[in-house]
Chains A and B, each alone.
Chain A
Amino acid sequence: MRTYILRRLAISAPILLGLTLVTFIFTELMPGDFVDALIPPLAIVNYTPEQLESMRENYGLNQPAPVRYLIWLRELGKGNMGKSLISGAPVRDEILQRMPATLQLTATSLLFGIIFGAVLGIVSAVKQYTWIDQMLTLLGFIWISTPGFVFAIGAIFLFSLKISLFPTSGITNYGEEASILTRVHHMFLPALVLGLGSMAGFMRYSRSSLLDVIRQDYITVARAKGLAEKAVLLGHALRNALIPLITIVSLDIPFLIGGTVIIEHIFAWPGMGTYSLTAIYSRDYPVIMGVNFMVALVVLLSNLLADITYAFADPRIRYE
């Protein structure tokens, strides 16, 4: 097990370096820089080229790209992700401040997606080809095909405007101390909408995985020795059927984060999604770099975690 973990870590290290390089290159490829974004298009005639040049120098934008990359990398190692060009605050602090809200939202919707996805998938598999299975299949297609923002709009329309069940935006009521209850109340709709997309995938996957396992010889053996169907299912089939879900969940995380951007925007959720969108609109490069890198890091770590969890759950993996 230890060698397996070490090997996974060794594979991840160059990828981590690659992440920093790619983040930097992407930012470099963008036309225009912060100085361009800072000055309104009509006001640019009021500046002399020298003034613009000295502004660029002030922000350190005149160094050659490789130098800026190395400086950025060195500072990143120290935990310094630069300062936001808009607010002047350290990017790391701003990210850390917004991270909990996003983690709360994504973790809840992921959990919701996994639990309901797995349960519905199992129901679908056990009742294969019945009307329940067919209905769930159809629903799964609809859930996967409807973008989060369409769900969000529909959910706000139904559950906030037509029936005032849930608030339309924010993390808590304005000017109010955030109690657990108001937080859950505010989180319900965004988490539901975010979770539905993942749920459909998990449902389909656990269905076909369980159907796959049920055909294995050891299940036939379990049935042959006279075990009750329930015991066969819960004690033998389910465990093995749900292991591959670990990988599917980790593969879903980039999409979940992508979805968070829009959902946070719609529900005015003060997390990383809203933060990155604001940064993108104002070309706040250090923030864009910081958020993209942090998110990629989270994805890398969750892949690593998934691989290790998988090896724990399925010993065959370790001896490959």
Chain B
Amino acid sequence: MSASELSETLDAPSRDSVQQRFWRRLFRHKLGMVGLVMLSLLVFAAIFAPLLAGVDPATMDLKLKNKPPSAEHILGTDAIGRDVWARLVFGARVSLSVGLVAVGIYTSIALILGSISGYAGGQVDNVIMRFTDIIMCFPTFLLIITVAAVLPPNIFNIMVIIGIFGWPGMTRLIRGQFLSLRGQDFVIAAVAVGVPTRRIIFRHILPNVVGPVVVAATLGLAGAILTESSLSFLGLGVQQPTPSWGQTLTTALQLPILENMPWRWLPSATAIAFAVLSMNFFGDALRDAFDPRQHLD
């Protein structure tokens, strides 16, 4: 029996590739697919916001203040007569873009620090990890609001601030992956036959780290959106007239609005939970699909 025949026999029950199995597990995940649909709706809303909104989210109509939902304004209007639906739809743009850029920033930082730390080991690893420990003692949110209060609150700064404080968890994850892969036979073999370090990192180790990083980034996206909405809620995030879900919710702190004008806060509250939920669902499905052993249940 030749080697190829042998391997075919061994693989007989499931001949499909690792990728195929990954996609199958992913698409079989019910909550994950619900999340994917929800996420697609959000992305669709963000891309086609001007079409969906119909009107400009910043246009005021002082004759139409605090009007409940009607045929013309399906979610009513706010205190200065702006269309709530339009602000909601444009808010998706803000949330998603802040989330994507912030997670992109800290994933890059974490990839650099984590791979150096995990691959180099020794003193370098020690220094980077102790620094990570120190930063992790500070509640990220407290650091973020500290800096957000001082920098001019615009959408760009918010992205950067969330981005620069998000890296510690991801760094630990990537470092751990590097550390364990570094000790595996295929990497040791590659080192032994003289494969250059660069190639070992990019060709042999990094592809194996992609899975956990994608999962962490998806869940991180949910976290970043939460943070952005919290910041905007405190008035430290995205500023008027740019619409943001968290910022809209600030008005719900006024009890008469909270009690009598649910159309002014309920849509945004739902949208935040909807967005975060969709990413958590999908992230969970990705995790199961990448590594079914991780979840024993």
Contacts and interface: CB of A to CB of B under 8 A. Distances in A.
Interface stretch (B12-20, B207-215, B253-261): B253-261
Question: Which size bracket describes the interface of B in this complex?
Answer: 35 or more
A168 B253 CA distance: 10
Interface in B228-285: 229-230, 233-234, 236, 246, 249, 252-253, 255, 258-259, 262, 265, 269, 272-273, 276-277, 280-281, 284
A276 interface: yes
Nearest to B273: A146
B137 interface: yes
Contact of A145 (B151, B249, B252, B280): B280
A128 B297 CA distance: 8
A161 to B, nearest CB: 4
Contacts of A18: 130-131, 133-134
A149 B230 contact: yes
Contacts of A26: 143, 146-147
Contacts of B137: 15, 19, 254, 296-297, 299-300, 303
Q: Which of B142, B234, B255, B259 has the most CB of A within 10 A?
A: B142
Contact of B269 (A153, A207, A254, A257): A153
B295 interface: yes
A157 B138 CA distance: 32
B297 A144 contact: no
Main secondary structure of the interface of B (DSSP, over half): helix
A218 interface: no
A101 B136 CA distance: 24
Interface stretch (A75-83, A173-181, A280-288, A307-315): A280-288
B269 A262 contact: no
Contacts of A265: 234
Contacts of A138: 31
A130 to B, nearest CB: 13
Question: Which size bracket describes the interface of A in this complex?
Answer: 35 or more
B150 A30 contact: yes
A32 interface: yes
A207 B149 CA distance: 39
A254 B139 contact: yes
Contacts of B222: 145
B139 A258 contact: yes
B141 interface: yes
B116 interface: no
Given A19-B137, A145-B273, A277-B234, A157 B142 contact: no
B135 interface: yes
Nearest to B135: A22
B188 to A, nearest CB: 25
Contacts of B265: 153
B128 interface: no
B226 interface: yes
5 contacts: A14-B130, A150-B269, A161-B255, A295-B142, A303-B137
Interface of A: 14-15, 18-19, 22-23, 26, 29-32, 125, 128, 137-138, 141-142, 144-147, 149-150, 153-154, 156-157, 161-162, 168, 207-208, 211-212, 215, 254-255, 257-259, 261-262, 265-266, 276-277, 280-281, 283, 288, 291-292, 295-297, 299-300, 303
